[in-house]
Structure 1
């Protein structure tokens, strides 16, 4: 045969409340213990020390009651059997339950009462038990919903982290791609510049060749002067780029037929603060901001040959 505790556990009561009820009723049986659980279902379970104090108080009250009856000869109807709250009229079986009511409600006025708190009927017990089970089921359902919500939030957070991680990866790939394209462009420009320099040297050498000496050694024919190259026609343009993002200026020599787009790609390869599609250039003398159409023109067409200082932003 199962014990009282096992039967109460099978009914779905909390172990702590069962232990409290068995101790409070001094293990007097299943029915008193269940009555105690139902009557105190809305109250917090007291600590072991508080339970010991309540049991001692009950024993003391019983002894005091017996002595009082013997001494005074008072009838049963004249003996206080409960404690009543003068402010709301509720009646309590013990000092402990009255104190709990005072803490929760803030009521301070109590008086002894001869009203006896009758035990619950079978129907009331069943109704109370059904109510407790319903509350327990609702509490468990709420816990399950909260657990599901927490799980959903964790899943959303993980998805957001993955999205941010993928966006960062694509951003790095874009930067690396820009740097690679800028490096290729720079190499192409270097090759073009080298070919232009070589052609310019060959042209100067051809135009500056000396005539063969005449038969008269006393009056040698003067050498043909080397053709001068106009500064605006110089095959090379030296640029100093001052960065609005901070840092030392950049200096580089470009072929004069290079465009400002070529210069923008080089700047983007040197500083990640700039994007080849959005960087703009401006000169201080003469003061000018170069448009997107100007970006497509050569350095010579923009009047930057043979040298210039530009602000990049």
Structure 2
């Protein structure tokens, strides 16, 4: 694996890796790592701002001069590093020296011909181990932060789920309560309707019994003082008006198609056709041309001709119960 690939696998930014390799003249993995660590907070320089290359020819010339016994011209010497005059620490580049100055507060530097020796294999391994340890610590710290955030987010999601579940349960409870209330109202209405029908049947029975008693008394020549008591006030016609002459007729219509019975008061001169039109308007399951009516007491089914007669003519005044089909 190349030095660049190794550094990138350690988590370094590729652009900074390129800068480090170029700045260290591809002198190895360790110099590049040193450069990355020392310049981690520095911006990456633009093209053309790289360090000046060493003049190898000048160096070779100075070596020859020394070997031949001549003197070395200071102008031919090439600065290989930057040295801190206060602590003596040597740096490969100006960026490294500036970073040292920021951290230590030192401000006295000079150029040096000393060359920084590359790290030994043991030092490289130690440096790599140190880097990996730092990365592991950093990742562990980030993992703790992520775990804490995930836990908080999970708690929020659970609370949101519980809130939505409670709202759903409340809505279902209200709907069940509404349905129960509707059934209770329907039951009460049904009970009232049944009670009204029963009362009407009893009133009809009493009226027929009283009528039979009066007719019997007349046949036997009984005096008017022997006339049975007046009928009970239930379904009693207006004063001075006999039941058959009552101008109003109260009808209760039971529907074979199902549903609550229909109740309404009609003028006695209305026909059963009028009643059929009213039933058809109240329940679309019925048609005015095909609907038929029947009474339970006395048991009778009204023909189409009888449907054209008035309620009084059909003997339904003052009240009656009909079955619609």
TM-score grouping bracket, smaller chain normalisation: 0.3 to 0.5
Whose radius of gyration is greater, 1 or 2? Answer: 2
TM-score, scaled to structure 2: 0.44
